[in-house]
Amino acid sequence: MYTWSMSRQVFITGVSSGIGLGLARECARRGDRVFALGRNPPPSTLPRLSFEACDLARLDTLPASLDRLLAGITRVDLAILNAGVLGRIADLGECSLEELKAIMEVNLWANKAVTDALLSGGREVVQVVAISSGAAVSGARGWNGYALSKAALNMLMRLYAAERPATHFSAFAPGLVDTAMQDKVRALPEDPRFPTVDRLKQAAGTPDMPDPDAAAPRLLDAMDRLRDRKSGDFHDIRSMD
């Protein structure tokens, strides 16, 4: 099992709930210093957490928010681009360009803006992990803008890896985790067009869908192992040794 040898400086987006909150709690437990950006703070205080409120869809204000959060910080050991939105499960043909663009804004373009701001001013960034999804590669019916945004996020990491060899980049699918996003999927009515929705409903309450606090230690350990793999690649925790 991996053990942290020293406290690290970890940056995370979206820590108000779900995977981001679980990761922030686990980092705090390990003694790390956490810098978090998101619309809302964690529901309870965490030690060594610095939080800056920022709607990631506001690409005009995002760089200044990140600069305030990381003022004077010259090294980030791990940056986790976690915040994301699902949109609705529907056929692509039923989705307006406006709603697809809104998903892209948070799941893709905000992550470009965050990465640029993180890497600015000569700051050393050891590792960037973008939280992707199996939907990035599955082409499962119904995942429309979400799947497009995560596929593009995978390529975003690959492109930065080619440009910035001093930083290690990965796109990383965390597997199923029981969060508000899964609550949204569970609340959907039956629809034979979207069989993956049924599969997710069936996984709820089983070991295949841990809660965020249970998932976080495994996710952080897997992120550490990503650094032994090629920068820019996509990995799914479900197929990592």
Ligand X SMILES: NC(=O)c1ccc[n+]([C@@H]2O[C@H](COP(=O)([O-])OP(=O)(O)OC[C@H]3O[C@@H](n4cnc5c(N)ncnc54)[C@H](OP(=O)(O)O)[C@@H]3O)[C@@H](O)[C@H]2O)c1
Residues binding ligand X (CB under 6 A): 14-20, 38-40, 55-57, 82-85, 106, 131, 133, 173-174, 176-177, 179-182
Q: How far is the CB of 56 from ligand X (least distance, A)?
A: 3
Helix (H, G, I), strand (E, B) or coil at 124: strand
**In this structure, how many other beta carbons lie within 10 angstroms of the beta carbon of residue 241?**
4
Q: How far is the CB of 235 from ligand X (least distance, A)?
A: 13
**Tokens representing residue 39 in the block:** 């619309």
Q: How far is the CB of 166 from ligand X (least distance, A)?
A: 25
Would you say 86 or 122 has its CB closer to ligand X? 86
Would you say 76 or 104 has its CB closer to ligand X? 104
Would you say 39 or 68 has its CB closer to ligand X? 39
Q: The dihedral of CA 95, 37, 130, 199: what is its sign?
A: negative
Write the DSSP symbol of residue 239.
Answer: G
Would you say 131 or 222 has its CB closer to ligand X? 131
Q: How far is the CB of 17 from ligand X (least distance, A)?
A: 4
**Angle formed at CA 226 by CA 225 and CA 227, multiple of 5 degrees:** 90
Q: Which residues contact 129 (CB under 8 A, 6 or more apart)?
A: 78, 79, 80, 81, 169, 170, 171, 172, 223, 226
Which residue lies nearest ligand X, judged by its C-beta? 18
Write the DSSP symbol of residue 116.
Answer: H
Would you say 16 or 50 has its CB closer to ligand X? 16
Tell me how far apart the terminal alpha carbons of the chain are, to the nearest angstrom.
12
The neighbouring-strand residues paired with 202 are none
CB of 153 closer than 8 Å to CB of 111: yes
The position carrying tokens 């990383």 is 172
Would you say 86 or 119 has its CB closer to ligand X? 86
Q: How far is the CB of 57 from ligand X (least distance, A)?
A: 4
Q: How far is the CB of 6 from ligand X (least distance, A)?
A: 27
Which backbone phi and psi does 209 adopt, to 5 degrees? -135, 75
Q: How many CA atoms lie within 13 A of 174 on its CB side?
A: 31
Q: How far is the CB of 185 from ligand X (least distance, A)?
A: 8
Would you say 16 or 196 has its CB closer to ligand X? 16
